[in-house]
Structures are given as structure tokens and as C-alpha cells.
Structure 1
Amino acid sequence: MGDLVKGLGLLARGQHWALRHRSDWRYGMAPALITLVGYAGALVALVVWSDDLASWATPFADGWTSPVRGAFRELVTAMLVCGGLLVAVISFTAVTLLVGQPFYESLAHRVDVSQGNAPEPPDRSALRELWTGVRDSVRVLLLVGAFGVVLFVLGFVPVVGQTVVPAVGFCVSGFFLTAELSAVSMQRRDIALRERLRLLRGRPMLVLGFGVPLVLTFLVPFAAVVLMPGAVAGATLLTRELLHAAPPGRSGPTVE
């Protein structure tokens, strides 16, 4: 429970840091707002076409009696929309961080400076930094997609699919949302994706305490835009916590 509370505290500290640095907060909302416009259109399309998607995905139910078929496809529709929302939270963050990469790197640096012992950024070109960010984001999204497929299938299991699976889905989303947000500060420390995920897995309750409340908050319209700068700041603080607690020799730069 201690790490769970600490993770929530790091999230709150990040938001407080952003509020105390208003110029960073205002500029940090711009990439999120641009991305939000595109995602809003995609989510509206998903909701509008969700019934058709559910029918297309369940041709085996065509011969069922009308009430059973209707109830089953309504459940599938709800799962598609909920799954789309959770995937959108993760991919929205990835796209926003790519759109606003130079700004968010600068923000993470200022958070590090304010806390002391700021790391020197790796000697890489901006183009290579962008490529690394795109490559790692695609890998994370593929992992999210793999978990999403498994959870989608488990969603058909009676009782478990309507109780346990949604809770696990939020935990998975919280973990990978934290992985995306902490990528800014970890990439500045030249820590490769595999090592980042290892560090996050080493403190699961800390990561969930940070990520799950953020996932739930990001589902509120426009909340992601307002909270994104503070989320990056909080993820930088979380990175410092993870590296401070890591065993000697396990937190340095790695190469993939």
C-alpha cells in the first residue's frame, strides 16, 4: 500500500509543479489539444459505427434468437467502445509526446534541475531522438494491443468478463500509460525500452498508483489536455524514484 500511495503522491506533485510553472503548463497543453481534435473525431466514428462493427465481428450469432443475439451484440458493442477508449488513452499519450517532443524534453529537464542532479542528455541528433521515440511508442502500442486482444476474449467469460477483466484492463492501461509518460525522462538518461519496462515492473504498485488514477482522469473530456504537462512532470519524478531505488549497476544506460 505504501508504494500505491507514493505513486499517487508523485502524480499530485507533478501536477503541482506544472501549476507553479504556468508558462510550461500553458505551452504543454498545445500538443495535447492538437492531438485531442483528431482523436475526438476517431472516437465519435467508433461510437457511430460500433453496432456495425459488433455485427461484423460476430457472424456466428446470426442464427441465434433475436433477444439473445441482441443482448450479446450489445455486450460486444460496449466492449469495443470501452476497449477503444482505453487504447485511445495510451495511444493519445504516445502521439501527444511525439507531437510535443522538444517541449516535453525541455519540461522534463527543468523538473530534473529543480530536484537536483539533473542528467546530461545523450549526444544524439534530434532526428534520431524522434526515431527512437516513434519506434518505442510503436512497440508499447503493440504490447497494449496484445493485452487488449487477450482481455477482449476473456470478456466473453461469464461474470469474470464483466468484473475482473475491466479492472485488469485499467491496470494494464495504467502501467503502459506510465511507460509512455516516463519515456521522456528515461530516454534523456539513455535507458532503452526493455530496461524501462524492467524498472517499472520492479515497482508495480508505485506504477499503478501513478498510472491508474491518470487513466481514469484522462477518460474525462479535456482532462488529458489540462493534465498532460503535470503528468510528464510527475513521470519525471517517478523516474527519479525508480532509479534511486534500483539496485546498483541495474539503472544505467542500456543499448538495444
Structure 2
Amino acid sequence: MSMNINGTRTLLTLLSLTWLMPFVAAHAQKREASASLPVQVMPGLQATSPEEAAAALTREWRAPYTLREGKLPARRERELRRCTDLDGVGVNDVDVTVTHEFHAFQMKFIQCRALQRVARAQPSRVSHVREVLTMKAPGEVLPAALAAAFSDEDAGRLAKAARTGRSWHDVDKALRFEMAPNGAQWRELQVQGESDEGYLQWWATGDFNADGYEDVLVFRSLGATGGSIADLAAFVLTRTQPKGVFQVLERLR
């Protein structure tokens, strides 16, 4: 009798396991799908994590900047000593006179805004952006908005091209890239266009808009060939499918 009881128990156990296996597998797949992709911060942003980015926002600079006479008169403190002092301040509100000083401050301004985004970034569930970090010629997948915009008219035209899914290469057929010196370490590419040249740096990856998809933060600096005019900007880009041109979530400049 005991043999029959034991045999019945064994059979029921095997049947239960067989019945549960699809549910266990589905649960494992769901858990794997929800696994987090951590925020990555590249050397060009001079931070290594969201926590370090948050700390950098309050760190004092070596030398302060001063607001221009007549700009933002309601601000009692006229000196800018750290990124957090830039809240409510525009690039043209600051007292910089010569071109190279203006570009240096603009670079700092963009970095501060980028650090704010990284400090708030979240891990991602899905990524369709990481492959771009190792592309030697990413012009076919980067949006047209990354092309140089030396005027408001240029910026509007390129933003429209980006909204219609056109790539950087679509609006500049002469576009080419080369690995910069120490580019592998700094995630940097040299850029040459039809009438401009400069460089591109990958700064961070993470979920910057809380939709679960990984985004990428990229900085690019372009100057007119043979001239002094320049366009510096950072972009938060995303892609919610494996292929195609990236979309612009935000432009920082």
C-alpha cells in the first residue's frame, strides 16, 4: 500500500513540476527583461558616476565669472562660482569679451547642464543606443540636428530635417570621421564636414527621460573651416528600436 502511495506522490510531484515549468521560465525571462543597465559616464564629462556628477555641480571653479552690467538686476550675487550659480543665467548674461573666453565659458555652461542631466539619470531596461559608441562613422544614424548651425536659420532648418528622420550625413554628404588621438580612451572622434571641422565626444548613457529606454549624451564642437565662428552643443539622443536614425530629446547649448 505504501509503495502505491509513494508512487502516486512521485507522479503528482512530477506533474506539478511539469505544469509549473512554463511559469518559472516566463518569470525568469521577465526578471531578465527588467534587469537594469547602469548609467555610464565617459571621461570627457570629467565625472565617473551620477553621484560624482551631482558633487561636481557644487564644486567651486578656479576662477569666478561675473554677470554683465545691467543683466539680471534682481540677482544680488553678481559672481558665478559653481554650476549651481548658473540657474536662471544665460550664456549672454555673463561678462566675457573675447571669442576664446566666450567659448570657454560656453563649454563650461554646457558641461554644467550635462552634469545636471547625468545626476538625475536612471538605469535603463532596454538599449538600442550602445552600438553607436563604437561606430567609426556614425553619420548615418546621428540626426541632422548635429550638423553645424552658425545661425538661427541653420538651427531651424536642421531641427526640421531631424524631425523628418534625416541623418547628419543626409545634410552633409562630405561628412567624415576619424579617431582622435587618445580617442578610444576619451570616446572622441574628429569630424570633417563640407565647410566645418571639429570633434565629437560621447559623454554618458542612461535613461534621461524615465521611459525605460537608454539614451546617449553626446557633445560636439564644430568651427567654420578657416574662420573663428563656432557651434558648441550637447545633445540627448535616443532610439526605441534597433535600427534607424536617433531622435533628439534635448539640445544643450
TM over 0.5: no
- Name whichever structure is richer in strand by fraction: 2
- Give the structure-2-normalised TM-score: 0.27
Greater RCO, 1 or 2 (C-alpha within 8 Å, sep 6+)? 1
Pick the structure with greater CA Rg: 2
- Name whichever structure is richer in helix by fraction: 1
